């Protein structure tokens, strides 16, 4: 797989080199203009509950929004489904440790304060993001379930390799009349990660559903801020 360079570099006061020991590095993707290199996947299901309608692809945003994004959608047939996308970037210091913060902007029609099968359509669908030297992949666990090969937590809880950023509920409270709105998640929490020997890193983000039917969002932008931890 060809390496993809950083979309943006943030310099400290007076400027700096992205490979210096103290300069933060920011990776930004604007899905309205470029979704290239992002690869979709699904996890957290058994063979018996395999979702058949998962979409992970660039898409036009639904009305009343305009422009384009990256669609993550599918039907949770049990009590859990993780739909994600990932991309490999280079440009960090080889082998260096970083603290990473995330910002995700997405379009969602899930209203707030509603009930549903297994959970709420908004508050029970969580957004996760992570940064790892190893490629996120869906694999079989010892029980035969399809899971991601990372310590990413699950639904409302993050893990050591992925953070839970929030949920997809928007400001609309009319449960019978969903409407798409943009929502930005930018928690202050960070995770610690390490670049690979080439200065590369895998980024991933996705929705983790406890709502036992269809859920879908459109990613509009994704940002990861790397602050040297050494």
Return the pLDDT at 14.
32
Query: Helix or strand or coil: residue 221?
Result: strand
Closest CA to 222 of 5, 60, 8: 8
Q: Please state the rounded mean pLDDT for residues 138-156.
A: 93
List pLDDT tens digits, range 67-111.
999 999 999 988 899 999 999 999 999 999 999 999 999 999 999
Q: Cβ distance 1 to 200 under 8 Å?
A: no
Q: Where are the beta strands (DSSP E) in 65-213?
A: 68-75, 81-90, 97-108, 125-132, 138-140, 146-148, 163-167, 181-185, 191-194, 200-209
Q: Which two three-digit tokens encode residue 35?
A: 């979704």
d(CA 209, CA 219): 16
Strands 25-30 and 214-228: antiparallel
Q: Are the CB atoms for 128 and 41 separated by under 8 Å?
A: no
Determine the Cα–Cα distance for residues 29 and 5; give it in Å rounded to an integer. 11
Q: What percent of the chain clears pLDDT 70, i.e. is strictly above it? A: 91
What is the spatial distance between Cα 185 and Cα 188, in angstroms, rounded to a whole number?
10
Residue pLDDT, tens place only, 200-219:
999 999 999 988 889 999 99
- In order of their start, the domains of the chain are 4-228 (2.60.120)
Which residue shows structure tokens 């509009």?
220
């Amino acid at each position: 797989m060809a390496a993809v360079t950083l979309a943006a570099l943030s310099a400290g006061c007076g400027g700096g080199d992205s490979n210096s020991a103290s300069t933060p590095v920011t990776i930004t993707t604007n899905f309205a203009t470029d979704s290239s290199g992002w690869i979709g996947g699904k996890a957290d299901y058994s063979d018996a509950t395999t979702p058949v309608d998962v979409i992970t692809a660039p898409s036009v945003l639904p009305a009343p929004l305009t422009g384009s994004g990256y669609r993550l959608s599918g039907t949770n047939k049990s009590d859990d489904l993780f739909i994600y996308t990932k991309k490999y970037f280079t440009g960090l210091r080889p082998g260096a440790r970083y603290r990473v913060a995330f910002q995700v902007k997405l379009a969602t029609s899930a209203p707030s304060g509603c009930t549903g099968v297994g959970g709420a359509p908004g508050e029970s669908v969580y957004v996760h993001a992570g940064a790892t030297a190893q490629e996120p992949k869906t694999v079989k666990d010892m029980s035969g379930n399809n899971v991601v090969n990372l310590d990413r937590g699950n639904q409302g809880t993050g893990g050591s390799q992925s953070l839970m950023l929030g949920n997809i509920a928007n400001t609309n409270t009319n449960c019978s009349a969903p409407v798409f709105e943009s929502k930005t998640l930018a928690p202050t929490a960070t995770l610690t990660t390490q670049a690979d020997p080439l200065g590369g890193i895998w980024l991933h983000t996705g929705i983790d559903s406890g709502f036992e039917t269809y859920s879908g969002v459109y990613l509009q932008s994704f940002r990861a801020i790397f602050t040297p931890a050494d």
